[in-house]
Amino acid sequence: MERIEAMKIITESLNDELLICNIGFPSRELYSVKDSNTHFYMLGSMGMASSIGLGLALSQNRRVVVFDGDGSILMNMGTLATIYNQNPENFILVVFDNECYGSTGSQCTYAKTVDLGKVAKAIGFEKTFCFRDTIEFEQILKLKGPVFVHVKVDPGNADVPIIDLSPEDIKNRFIHEINKNRSF
């Protein structure tokens, strides 16, 4: 399955969840699949998607979904231990694993030989899922987190344009969306 297809399937099942999306082509693909005030597109700071999502989950009640990648998880693996220890119920970490650094020319990552789902289990995550040809995300949304969702996807990026929002616009509308919901 292509990553953009996997993103399409998952975003169709989301309602008011807050979504943090990884740097590079993943953010561009998500933006072209669907744009929403509930989306935060990372434009830099590779590796930080899972950590940003954790901080957001710990600081408010709405459910947080993170779209991360294998290269980024490998770059910031320690945060999996932090997530497990903080144990946020409203947190779903989705890792699109194409076994390569897709935004820089598809160089191989160690995810080819290291099973990131097994890593999550070894750290202590009780709810881990692996999808390859189909994704059933509705069942994930019914669970108490933290949930680790490993999605094996094909290498390669979709032909999608860059995101024509400024960093501050991305941030401000995201914060506005979070605050809007907080009032009741």
Partner 1 sequence: MDSSEAVYNALKEAEIDFIVSLPCINLGKLLEMVECDPEIIHVPVTREEEGFGIAAGAYFGGKNTAILMQNSGLGNSVNVLASLYELYKIPILMIISHRGTQGEPIIAQIPMGKATPDILKVLKIPYFNPKTSEEAFKTIKKAWDMAKTNGSGVAILLEISYW
Asked if residue 104 binds partner 1 (CB under 8 A), the reply is: no
Select from 100-108, 133-141, 150-158, 169-177 the region that touches partner 1 (CB under 8 A): 169-177
Q: Which of 12, 16, 82, 124 binds partner 1 (CB under 8 A)?
A: 82
56: its two tokens: 């957001």
**From the CB of 84, what's the least distance to partner 1, in Å?**
11
Task: Classify residue 128 by its DSSP letter.
Answer: E
Q: Which of 51, 87, 103, 157 binds partner 1 (CB under 8 A)?
A: 51
Q: Which of residues 11-50 bind partner 1 (CB under 8 A)?
A: 20, 40, 42-48, 50
**From the CB of 134, what's the least distance to partner 1, in Å?**
30
Q: Which of 16, 35, 78, 122 binds partner 1 (CB under 8 A)?
A: 78
Q: Which of 24, 53, 69, 146 binds partner 1 (CB under 8 A)?
A: 53
List of residues contacting partner 1 (CB under 8 A): 20, 40, 42-48, 50-60, 64, 76, 78-79, 81-82, 86, 167-168, 170-171, 174-175, 178-179, 182
